[in-house]
Structure 1
Amino acid sequence: MKGNALYPLSRVNVKTYSIPRNSRVCNQENLFLGSIPKHYDIEYLALCQDGRQVPAKAFQPDFNNGVSVREFYNMFLATGRHLKDLPLSISRDDFNDGYSLFVFNLNPSDDNDALSTVSNGNLRLELRFRTPLPHTATLIVYACYDSILEINAKRQVLVDYY
């Protein structure tokens, strides 16, 4: 063998953040450096990657009036299920009734299946609620990373993360 064996792999990281009772705004800096769900009437949601907002226009659903089509449609786009026979188990009504997942594809090529180079940076999440939270809530952040597993001629395993 002339070079090291390289294997692409996906890593997953899940973080939770507590949002205190009576809050109307939640800003989480540095999201990543290196029972029945509820949407709690989110009225504004924006993610910033190194100061660039994703998507360019923040999500502004109005769940009380059934205005969440853009957010629901984006869930299909960002998960790579748009125009494919790959259904999600969340219907439009389920999404509006509390099974709301806000999905962001930060891959530069917008292709979920393409392996992208590892990039570092800062993610900031901004949430606003229409009414103060009735009790403390938990924000769950689920992230997938592209990584490379490398095995050299001495059978040493090297990874590009720590």
Structure 2
Amino acid sequence: MMRLIFILLFTGAFVQAQTLIEDSEISENSEEFVRVAISYELDHPTEYYRLKCGSPVYARFTGGESIFKQNISRQMKGFLDTGLYTVNGTFELILFIGKNGSLQRFQLKPEVTNGHLLERDVELALRNMNPSWTPATCNGIPVDSRIRQKINFRTDSFDM
């Protein structure tokens, strides 16, 4: 008698474990996984804002323009967050170089919706790059200067 009660209790515990799942419940709980990739091109030449003086010497990155582009490209790969924003088109990165050759600030144009997230990531990339510049001079005196680099962004989405 004890065995019969034990077997009934044991089988009764598994009756509720099996339920039928409808197709509509499965589709409502499924998630789509999408991989987003941001690619960019730094093919445009670095442009210098004109200095108004007799013999201007423009600011230069230590190592030259190609080293600057390699460094910023490597840092942007590490800091651009592909899940937070999508960017498409050509942006202008304007760097403000101080009299001592340090990066004072930057500006990213054009302004876009939720562009503050992209600006934050570009700022982290520039900070981590720790750029060193030879300051611009006018008649042998160091002056503040601006440099513009165009960056062509493209966001691609891939289903996984």
Shorter-chain TM-score: which interval?
A: under 0.3
Q: TM-score, normalised by structure 1?
A: 0.27
| Highest RCO, 1 vs 2 (Cα 8 Å, sep ≥ 6) | 1
Q: Greater share of helix residues, 1 or 2?
A: 2
